[in-house]
Amino acid sequence: MTKEETELQKEIKKIFKKVDSSIPKISFTHFNNTTSAKNSKATIINPKDKKTYGGDFMTARIYSPDVKASASGRVEDLRNGSYHIHYTLFWQGTVQFSILMVHPSEATSALWQGRNKGHGYVAYTGSFVYKGNEAKVKCGFDLNQTHELCEYSNLKEEEHFYCEKPVNIPCGSLRQMMSVFVDSHTYLSEAEKYLLDR
């Protein structure tokens, strides 16, 4: 029996869909074809040799050292290799601006794709202690229901976490949680890792 989606679940899906649609669906081909903060400069007129897609992760700010003031800018990705940076001028005087490229679009795409492939690679073990008895059991967000389960829920956030119920130990006796990566595999190629290290 399938449960009907709650409003929160619909909103979460909507947010993930929006994030997913903003990440370009591209493959990393060569390091020299990626956006480079070191080799980029902000220009106002006459852009040349533009990319045809956006997706670069940038931050922007204005600042005035004389008055010790600064403010963040809003980066608008036009998804065609161009960006508009919006600043609100809160003070008078000379203003300098900075734009920092955190990751080129190729890196943001690789990170997003890797994030979406990596579910289920963390194993959780719960440690229960009750009247001198101790038990370590398997825990997780989606457990096989062949065992009786202890459920730990945050109803407001609609999050549910489960542990196999230890024999003769109540669910309220969970004292410690440990986690390990089941598979330390990375979904980034060596070249994609290099994009994040530069």
Q: 1.10.20, 2.60.40, 3.30.200, 1.10.10: which CATH number matches 23-29+49-118?
A: 2.60.40
Tokens of 173: 């006796």
For the chain, what are the domain ranges? Answer: 23-29+49-118, 120-181
Inter-residue contact 50 to 80 (CB < 8 Å): yes
pLDDT value, residue 62: 93
Q: For 63-100, b where at least 16 C-beta lie within 10 A, e where not — what string?
A: ebeeeeeeeebebebebebebebeeeeeeeeebeeebe
Query: What is the rounded distance in angstroms from the CA atom of residue 140 to the CA atom of residue 121?
Result: 11
pLDDT value, residue 46: 63
* pLDDT averaged per 10 residues, the chain (length 198): 81 87 78 66 62 91 92 94 89 87 90 76 90 94 86 89 95 93 74 81
pLDDT value, residue 198: 65
pLDDT value, residue 35: 63
Q: Is residue 188 classed exposed, middle or buried when 0-12, 13-18 and 19+ CB atoms within 10 A define those classes?
A: middle
